[in-house]
Amino acid sequence: MTAAPADFLPVIRPMRPRDVGAVHEVESSAYDYPWTLNIFRDCLRMGYECWVQLATDRIVGHFILAMGPGEAHVLNLAVHPGWHNHGLGRALLERALERAERLGAESVFLEVRPSNSPAVHLYMSSGFRRVGRRRDYYPSECGREDALVMRHDLREVAPAGRR
């Protein structure tokens, strides 16, 4: 995947079953321990909020959002490394928050590796706050890594443009 052109037109749309292969390619490029094709298929089949980020005509990012009574959970958010630093992760996160709010969530939760400082920074700058830690949540080269549990309260004052 090449670097993003200066004048690309980003589009976020619902994921389709035929997108799963491209989504898995993004996932595999972004994470050392990616989700499998079947996990993405199951998310679509179960009716989770599954969205893709297009830049020009290719999928370069995605998010999966699970809804529950009064809350949502960002299960997965990834942008292909060749497309980092173009605001696509922030755009995907903002769309996830908009969808959660539209579907009745009051809070949005997620887990993130403490070692993933760009993601932690994105979430903190988007209004997420650390509310806990899950011990040994993620696989890693040295065994297991904890996860930070973060929460965004949608009832707080939203960033400009979302309300």
Tell me: is residue 160 an annotated ligand-binding position.
Answer: no
Catalytic residue among 111, 137, 138, 145: 111
Residues paired with 12 in a beta bridge: 53
Q: Which of 101, 123, 138, 145 is catalytic?
A: 123
The answer to whether residue 137 is catalytic is no
9 is in an annotated binding site: no
Give 129's contacts (C-beta < 8 A, 6+ positions apart).
150, 151, 152
Pull the structure tokens for residue 162: 């979302």
Verify whether residue 123 is a known catalytic residue: yes
* DSSP conformation letters of 35-68: PPHHHHHHHHHTT-EEEEEEETTEEEEEEEEEEE
Phi-psi region of 47 (alpha: psi -120 to 50; beta: other; left: phi over 0): left
Q: Is 119 annotated as a binding residue?
A: no
> Is 79 flagged in the annotation as binding?
yes
Residues pairing with 108 in the sheet: 72, 152
Residue 144 has which token pair? Answer: 């297991």
Residue 73, φ and ψ in degrees, nearest 5 = -135, 120
Question: Mind telling me the catalytic residues?
Answer: 111, 123
Binding residues for acetyl-CoA: 77-79, 116
